[in-house]
Amino acid sequence: MGLEMRKPSKGIVSWPEDERPRERLLSRGANALTDAELVAILVRVGFEGTSAVELGRKLLKQFGTLRSMAEAPLSALMDVKGLKGAKVAQLAAAMEIARRVSLPDKRNGIYMKGTAQAASYLKERLRGLAEENFRVLYLNKQNRLLEDALIAEGTVGSVNPPIRKIVARALQVNASGLIAAHNHPSGAIEPTESDRLLTIDLITALRPLGIKVLDHVIVGDEKTFSFADNGLLDELELEALTPYPSRQDKRKRKVAQ
């Protein structure tokens, strides 16, 4: 008896119309589709022997959940068989749209009424990113958000936000205060010595201009760390009053240790 050959997977176009993801979405709504079917609509087509839905299932099996897939670096998606540049771009764009939709509607104006609200806002912006991002929220006197600016991004430990760029943008938008924020891709939220020194430099540069550093927020996996809530911002404001040569000597001693 000869070996039974496995039949290659047929494309979605050969399926009955009421079983095709796109047609089901249009007739029954997006909530009627499985996660794999939603992904299939984004990637549009599979590859030889694998339908788009099967490719969607393969992606979910590899990454575990839609959120994990959304938080994966582009290089991880590019390594998946059947995904090329266009498909990865489509997936990444859809995930970023979902991320932005979850943010407050800017048309009504966003007001940062306290550190908890700012931390919640920044958590949605920075959580789960594979690379380190440094953002600054520029606020007016009423704590209305004037601009949410991405200042720098890069691999862990390589991000070095330029103070001059942060100050220049504050002057351009006529900000009265700002909230600095960055993520730790490791998930840890404890501030590093570099985080502390950067905050001191920001305070020192902005104080003569009458612009106040209201907080520095670190975003981890599920938690955030607020310099203001933990009393660290007050401590660093006092340290920023120390004459510059003395601060430099202190930094050198810490490096030597």
3-state secondary structure of 225: strand
Residue 218 near residue 191 (C-beta atoms within 8 A): yes
Residue 238's pLDDT is 94
Report helix angle 232-240 to 193-206, nearest 10. Answer: 60
Residues with Cβ within 8 Å of 38's Cβ and at least 6 positions away in sequence, in order, are 21, 30, 56
Span 175-179, average pLDDT: 97
Residues with Cβ within 8 Å of 134's Cβ and at least 6 positions away in sequence, in order, are 150, 151, 152, 153, 159, 161, 180, 181, 182
Q: 108-118 pLDDT, tens per residue?
A: 689 999 999 99
CA-based nearest residue to 47, from 75, 83, 76, 15: 83
Report helix angle 193-206 to 244-256, nearest 10. Answer: 170
For the whole prediction, is pTM greater than 0.75? no
Q: With cut-offs at 50, 70 and 90, classify the pLDDT of residue 140.
A: very high
Q: 235-256 pLDDT, tens per residue?
A: 999 999 887 655 555 555 444 4
Span 20-27, average pLDDT: 87
Q: 58-100 pLDDT, tens per residue?
A: 999 998 988 888 888 888 888 888 888 888 898 889 888 887 7
DSSP β-bridge partners for residue 150: 135
CA-based nearest residue to 194, from 112, 131, 119, 254: 254
Q: Report DSSP letters for 33-78, one per residue.
A: S-HHHHHHHHH---BTTB-HHHHHHHHHHHHSSHHHHHHS-HHHHH
